[in-house]
Amino acid sequence: MRKNAIVTGASNGIGQAIAKKLNKDNYFIYAVDVDDANGKKLVNELGNENALYVHCSISCETDVSDLYNEIKDKNANLEVLVNNAGIIKDNLIHKMPADDFDAVIDTNLKGSWLMCREAAKMMKEQKCGRIVNISSRAWLGNPGQSNYSASKAGIIGLTRVLALELGRYGILVNAIAPGLIDTPMTQKLPDDVLEKLINAQPTKTIGKPDDIANTVSFLVTESTQFITGQVIYVDGGKSIGANLTV
């Protein structure tokens, strides 16, 4: 029986790379997003026999419930959940509207929690499963990102708790903390700003979405049976050598 994977935020950037990689690994992909145009484009590329696009706002409990009911209606198992969807609304704290804090927490943290809750119910019955939560190196703290960093720190805490709760059922839960990755968002940065960020990396390079996708692939493979509750940094060493030069 073919295995199934949910990838949230699958329409663009890192999520799209994850969806394509897991499809190559022979998973049927439930590509979850609110970007209908790019989500449908992805499914057309992968083929209807390999993927299904589902419009779902992960911060909406009803949308999430409907998504999982759709999978259950197909009498399908769920082997993998990748929580990648997220938003950014940066500002210094004294300039940040409360609505911007709420929006980021609702999508990045509450949305991931809602997805994990429903996945846990299915995977617990199956006695197996893999959950990978995409956090960020920013959970360590970035100026102007009190909302985003808090949401990503929350994902680390969520990951650790779920690893403790679900391990006895054969469910492994891990987090990936990407650093500077070449995505549509970073491509919009001014050249001088991007160059400065790259030079702050110990590797003096920028990561690719495939770097994250390959790490997800490693964590969900059947041969990886004894890794859970961990945070894997894919950040060119920035988390251990921020702004240091030698």
Q: Which residues are known to be catalytic?
A: 148
The total of other beta-carbon atoms located within 10 Å of residue 34's CB is 16
Which tokens is 73 given?
């209606």
Helices (H), the chain: 13-24, 36-46, 61-73, 98-104, 111-126, 146-166, 184-187, 191-199, 209-220
**What residues pair up with 178 in beta bridges, in sequence order?**
234
> Do residues 28 and 2 lie in contact, with contact meaning Cβ atoms separated by under 8 Å?
yes
User: From CA 192, how far away is CA 169, in angstroms rounded?
Assistant: 49
